[in-house]
Structure 1
Amino acid sequence: MKNDLQKINLNILIAGFLLFLMSFSALYAQSKAEKIEKLMQTYHKYGQFNGSVLVAENGKVIYKDGLGMANMEWDIPNTANTKHRLGSITKQFTASLIMLLAEEGKLDQQKPVSTYLPDYPKPMGDEITIHHLLTHTSGIPNYTSFPGFFEEKSRDPYKPEEFVETFADSSLQFTPGEKFAYSNSGYFLLGYIIEKVTGKPYEEVLQEKILTPLGMKDTGYDHQETILKNRASGYEKTGNGYRNAPYLDMSIPYAAGSLYSTAEDLYKWDQALYTGEILSEASKKKMFTPQVPNGSGGYGYGWGMNYSKLENSKDSILTIGHGGGINGFNTNIIRVPEDRNLLVLLNNTGGANLSDIGENIKHILYNESYEQPKKSVAKELLSTIAEQGLEAALARFKELKSDDQYALRENEINIAGYQLLRTGMTKEAIAVFKLNVEEFPESGNVYDSLGEAYMEDGNIEMAIKNYEKSVEIDPGNNNGAQILKDLKAKRKSK
């Protein structure tokens, strides 16, 4: 009897200890969720995030929410199940379709484009392979960077074969395979190849091979005319608020950026990538291996890779992800396969600094210190321009850049400049881009943006001067080099 009582007591102790461990684990996970929630609420309070977010740890969702409005006109809030345009996150789905077709023996990544599109202009069609398109090493110019693209082409509907013609005759920026230069044109072409190989529309192939098998009912090709429940509207920041984002015909982003989805559906996608449900292990290895090394990571097939050190460890962790940006929206998906961690950020006010937000969430997941959000100098600058004019804004800028409560970020100032430029406030845009040049003189991008503003203003000499500086600092700025070449030719012809 005594032994039986001892066994019972021991079992009670073990059960109690296990219950304690489970409770401790739940509280620990909850504390991370609370930190993430507080972080996101602060970003939203400062006007730096408006959208949907989901975070998973060890494959389990620990936080998901919507912040701000999906529709500002009707005060409809964002949720974790709000549908957002994804922009370039679309590329990983296009790359996956290519890999699936390769598995089926319907195409070969090492074959040239002309194998599948015999009419593609020579000699480019014989020199560019599917692999080059997947890895942004084709040399095909990026159509969204063409001068006047947004003003002249972005609102018009195109069939895939029609739009391919707008960039197919362009001179290559470099010999295929020579270097990396991000190009929406390459992924547009991949979508067209998918259609040619299968004899079906791109979106139908996507539905059949990925979305339906995974039960991704809240993901698809976004058509403006379709009545789509829970679709977020896209907005752009102005000096003192928001405005509706400019219209973009969704036939143009196509296989490079026309999908919509939800944070919850992208979690389904993430989970499926750990199984063989859609892609073979061999295909996933190719997708998630840097085909084009770049610093601490590189670019695979539709995904970027990066190795980063942990604060509390000598080890590095591999993150696999991709961002997206399209009128009124910017997005990010970040995966840490080693720990099955996932971050999904879908913002419907454009221009949010999702990289910093993602880094802070990652630090929380790994019990590291993280930066508290700060107010944005760029946001205050735009607001002051709108309310008091440029002169007052420049004076305010001098005060704010030394204020510890405010953060001065190159990309945010750059976005502010473009917001002014696209609303016809060219003089103000030039002044803002000049501030960025003064603060970040070692960045090629700030000179590129200032050059574009001068070009918009008709000042060819100053445009050339800044594009020259941009290309000097960043020799990989192939688009800037092409614009510089065109500007010099234009000057010579006068």
Structure 2
Amino acid sequence: MPRLCHLIKFLRSSTLIVLSLLSALSAQNVAAKQPDPLETAASQLFASGFRGALLAARGDKILLQKSSADFGDLQRPFRFASITKQMTAILIMQEVDAGRLQLDQPLGKYWPDYPNPQARQITLRQLLTHYSSLYNENAEPTFHMRNANQGDNMQAFASGICAGPMKSAPGSTFDYNNCDYLVLGALLEKISGQPFAQLLQRRLFQPSGMKSAGMYNAAMPDNPAHVHGTLGGKAEPEVNFASYGAAGSSYGTLQDLLAFDRAFIAGKLLTPAARADMLKPNATGGALGVWVYPFKGADERKPTTIVERQGWIAGVRILNLLDIQNGHILILVSTNGDLDLTQTWNNQGPAAGILKALLQSK
């Protein structure tokens, strides 16, 4: 009888162990079957008709990258467009950090013979935040960057077209304007004695590890091998990307833009004080070369601060979103030039769902 009792106890114990193991395995299977919120959000984005590519990362880890057929290989270069303005702003802040420029000093202090005397009163901060009131070529319905500047001479463009008549006093009105950054790029060339393209390579591309990044120039105003998109449902028009200079002429791959974002987050490009100054938003979220706003993500009670920069030329739009504090990065490249990517700040638009999933990712 004692042996029988021991056997019964052993069988009961073994049964409990087996049941526990089965329960644990079942729980693991259930957990494994739970869809990844980031994957789900990405699938929903592409199912909605999004064409292009996306990359989501946290710190040194890429969490998701995906592209549609028309974008193709994730290593294909594409125009950065106005992401270039963020880069120009960083170069300006490097000069501020070095004491060679001051944000609230007028342009005329550094460019005393700028052809438009009224424009000499514009401060560098006003140029960086689009409050300059410089002549805006986009206000002319028949104006085409392709025809206005067949080459890539920023000095000629900045002191020529951009020195046209101003419609209001500096600092009075917000007016998004490529001339603001063309003038800043030309100013950087003047005070450094180096072409803007060299400044980008030496001070941003190389320190960031951007191996395929470059700038369109007169010899390469476009590249058929780069990503192209549609506009108005048709193939995009011919564009001379070199003409955008410091306002939009850079290009690279997703990996290049990711490397740039990581370097910016890690503090490799600016001192903490200079970066903090750059990211200080005004009442409408405008900072220096970027927009900064709160976004309800992982914690509804405590919004995450997002740094946003967009780019758009013809059939390609780019949305670059950074969560500096936690190291989250979300890049969207749309090959549909008609797609509006501007509503993320309002928790709406194509990027809102995937950004929220990224901020909640473990």
Measured in 1, the distance between the counterparts of 2:216 and 2:341 equals 22
Q: Distance between the aligned counterparts of 1:99 and 1:206, measured in 2? A: 13
Change (3 A) 1:225 1:352: farther
Instruction: Give, as a single letter, the amino acid of the residue that structure 2 aligns with 1:283.
Output: A
1:158-197 mapped onto 2 (5 Å cutoff): 159-197=153-191
The whole-number CA distance in structure 1 between the counterparts of 2:33 and 2:124 is 46
Contact 2:218 2:242 in 1 (8 A): no
Letter in 2 for 1:106: R
For 2:89 and 2:114, the matched residues in 1 are separated by 20
CA distance in structure 2 between the aligned counterparts of 1:27 and 1:285, rounded to whole angstroms = 41
Q: C-alpha displacement at 1:87, in angstroms? A: 1.2
Task: Name the structure with the higher helix share.
Answer: 1
Match of 1:276 in 2: 267
Corresponding residue to 1:287 among 265, 278, 299? 278
Are the structure 2 counterparts of residues 96 and 61 from structure 1 closer, same or farther at C-alpha, using a change threshold of 3 Å? same
Q: Is 1:63 matched with 2:64?
A: yes
The runs of 5 or more residues in structure 1 that have no matched partner are: 1-15, 71-77, 369-494
Q: For the Cα contact (< 8 Å) 1:234–1:350, is it kept in 2?
A: no
- What pairs up with 1:239-318 in 2 under 5 angstroms? 239=233, 242-243=234-235, 245-290=236-281, 292-294=282-284, 298-310=285-297, 313-318=300-305
Match of 2:306 among 319, 322, 325: 319
Aligned to 1:39: 44
- The equivalent position to 2:325 in structure 1, one of 325, 334, 338, is 338
**Partners of 1:86 and 1:329 within 8 A in 2:** no
Q: CA deviation at 1:104?
A: 2.3
Runs of 4+ in 1 over 6 A off after TM superposition: 227-230
Indicate if the aligned counterparts of 2:42 and 2:354 stay in contact, CA closer than 8 A. Answer: no
Equivalent residue in structure 2 for 1:365, among 343, 349, 358: 358
Specify whether residues 27 and 106 from structure 1 end up closer, same or farther in structure 2 by C-alpha distance, changes over 3 A only: farther
Which one-letter code corresponds to 1:41 in the other structure? F
Give the drift of 1:52.
Answer: 2.1
In structure 2, the residue matched to 1:396 is none
Cα-to-partner distance string for 1:12-70 (whole Å, 9 max, x where unaligned): xxxx9xxx9xx99x969971342134124313xx3xx3322101245532101221224
User: How many Å separate the matches in 2 of 1:160 and 1:169?
Assistant: 12
CA contact (8 A) 1:329 1:350 kept: yes
The SS at the match of 1:354 is: coil
CA distance in 1, matches of 2:125, 2:141: 27
Q: Could you say what secondary structure the match of 1:323 adopts?
A: strand
- Name the SS of the counterpart of 1:61 in structure 2: strand
**Secondary structure in structure 1 of the residue aligned to 2:259:** helix
Contact 1:155 1:247 in 2 (8 A): no
8 Å contact 1:87–1:256 — kept in the other structure?
A: yes
Contact 2:231 2:314 in 1 (8 A): no
Q: Determine if contact 1:345/1:354 at 8 Å carries over to the other structure.
A: no
Q: Secondary structure at the match of 1:365?
A: helix
Distance in 1 of aligned mates of 2:225 and 2:104: 39
Instruction: Give the residue type in structure 1 aligned to 2:37.
Output: K
Deviation, structure 1 residue 225: 4.1
CA distance, structure 2, for counterparts of residue 225 and residue 120 of structure 1: 28
TM-score calculated relative to the size of structure 1: 0.61
Specify whether residues 213 and 124 from structure 1 end up closer, same or farther in structure 2 by C-alpha distance, changes over 3 A only.
same
Match of 2:11 in 1: none
Which consecutive residues of structure 2, in runs of 5 or more, have no partner in the other structure? 1-20, 343-348
- Residue 253 of structure 1: SS of its match in structure 2? helix
Contact in 1 for aligned 2:296/2:304 (Cα 8 Å): yes
- Root-mean-square deviation (CA, aligned residues, Å) is 3.1
Write out aligned runs for 1:92-103 (5 A): 92-103=86-97
Are the counterparts in 1 of residues 221 and 241 from structure 2 also a CA contact under 8 Å? Answer: no
Kindly provide the amino acid, as one letter, of the partner of residue 337 in structure 2: G
* Matching residue within 92, 116, 124 for 1:130: 124
Asked whether the 8 Å contact 1:86–1:346 carries over to 2, the reply is: no
Q: How far apart are 1:337 and its partner, in Å? A: 2.1
String of CA shifts for 1:407-466, please: whole Å, max 9, x gaps: xxxxxxxxxxxxxxxxxxxxxxxxxxxxxxxxxxxxxxxxxxxxxxxxxxxxxxxxxxxx
User: TM-score scaled to structure 2, two decimals?
Assistant: 0.81
Is the 8 Å Cα contact of residues 150 and 218 (structure 2) preserved in structure 1?
no
Displacement of 1:84: 0.9
Secondary structure of the 2:352 match is: helix
Q: 1:256 to 1:39 in 2, by over 3 A?
A: same
Distance in 1, matches of 2:354 and 2:312, equals: 20
Q: One-letter code of the match for 1:248?
A: V
C-alpha contact (below 8 Å) 1:187/1:256 kept by paired residues: yes
- Code of the residue aligned with 1:144 in structure 2: it is N
Q: How many residues align?
A: 330
Shift of 1:188: 0.7
* 2-structure distance, mates of 1:184, 1:237: 20
| Pairing of 1:20-169 with structure 2 (within 5 A) | 31-43=36-48, 46=49, 49-57=50-58, 60-70=61-71, 78-150=72-144, 153-154=147-148, 156-157=150-151, 159-169=153-163
Q: Are residues 360 and 113 of structure 1, via their aligned partners in 2, closer, same or farther at CA, if it must alter by over 3 Å?
A: same
- C-alpha change, 1:83 and 1:154, in structure 2 (3 Å) is farther
How big is the shift at 1:346? 1.4
